[in-house]
Chain A
Amino acid sequence: KAGVTQTPRYLIKTRGQQVTLSCSPISGHRSVSWYQQTPGQGLQFLFEYFSETQRNKGNFPGRFSGRQFSNSRSEMNVSTLELGDSALYLCASSLDAGARGNTIYFGEGSWLTVV
């Protein structure tokens, strides 16, 4: 079955602009979470959505936001981009991450470069 799909894979934006990244979870998965990977900070949790509701949130500024649609697809948005937002953004899905033992599967990521 198809894995977690993220689009676009690569993009370049200018400081001050905004960006929207998209994620399609594995079919049947209802939980979608987002992570940021940078060389300095490693893999950091952004937020998690379940049934269109944000269930968990990491320590990121309000410029980072997300949403989940009724078909479980998710988008994340970063407004007023800063150079430090350059990173690999990873989407992950699971059947229901609210239940112990549910494995979380990751997509290939979206590489964002802010210039």
Chain B
Amino acid sequence: DQQVKQNSPSLSVQEGRISILNCDYTNSMFDYFLWYKKYPAEGPTFLISISSIKDKNEDGRFTVFLNKSAKHLSLHIVPSQPGDSAVYFCAASDGGTSYGKLTFGQGTILTVHP
């Protein structure tokens, strides 16, 4: 039972345009969500997070939107740059002493073309 799903295995966008990566979850107990970027043979790099008490969080070119009723979140990257090409993982945790336990999606490969 996959509780966090990234249904798009890959996404290709042109440099300068917007990249939108999507993530759905099924566990209504999840209340903290994070996005990570990963290159092959490296550890994930934290990008941005959002708490369930918010519906939007921004950090530079990155914005995460959370729709609790739809159990859906998305990461927007504007403008996209070739250096953004990597695998993006959505992760969730369900609070209490379980914030240290992240449940990850399967990842989306983002390719930004010059």
Q: Which residues in A have some Cβ–Cβ distance to B below 8 Å?
A: 4, 6, 31, 33, 35, 42-45, 48, 50, 55-56, 58, 88, 90, 92, 94, 97-109, 111
Counting chain A CB atoms within 10 Å of each CB, the highest count among B36, B46, B102 belongs to B102
Chain B residues with CB under 8 A of A98: 96-97, 99-100
B91 to chain A, nearest CB (A): 8
Instruction: Please report which residues of chain B, range 71-114, place their CB below 8 angstroms from some CB of chain A when the two chains form the complex.
Output: 89, 91, 93, 95-107
Q: How large is the interface on B (under 10, 10 to 19, 20 to 34, 35 or more residues)?
A: 20 to 34
| Interface membership of B49, Cβ < 8 A | yes
The chain B residue with its CB closest to the CB of A104 is: B102
A99 to chain B, nearest CB (A): 7
> How far apart sit A21 and B102, CA to CA, in the bound complex (Å)?
20
Q: Are B107 and A56 in contact (CB under 8 A)?
A: no
The chain A residue with its CB closest to the CB of B100 is: A97
- The count of A-to-B residue pairs whose CB atoms sit within 8 angstroms is 78
Query: Could you say which of B45, B49, B51, B102 contacts A45, with CB atoms under 8 Å apart?
Result: B102
Given contacts A4-B43, A108-B42, A111-B41, contact A55 B103 (CB under 8 A): no
Chain B residues with CB under 8 A of A102: 99
Q: Are B34 and A104 in contact (CB under 8 A)?
A: yes
Please list 24 pairs of residues, one from A and one from B, whose beta carbons are closer than 8 Å in the complex, sorted by A's number: A6-B43, A33-B102, A42-B104, A42-B106, A42-B107, A43-B107, A45-B101, A45-B102, A45-B103, A48-B100, A48-B101, A50-B97, A56-B98, A56-B100, A56-B101, A58-B101, A88-B41, A94-B100, A97-B101, A100-B31, A102-B99, A103-B34, A106-B36, A109-B42
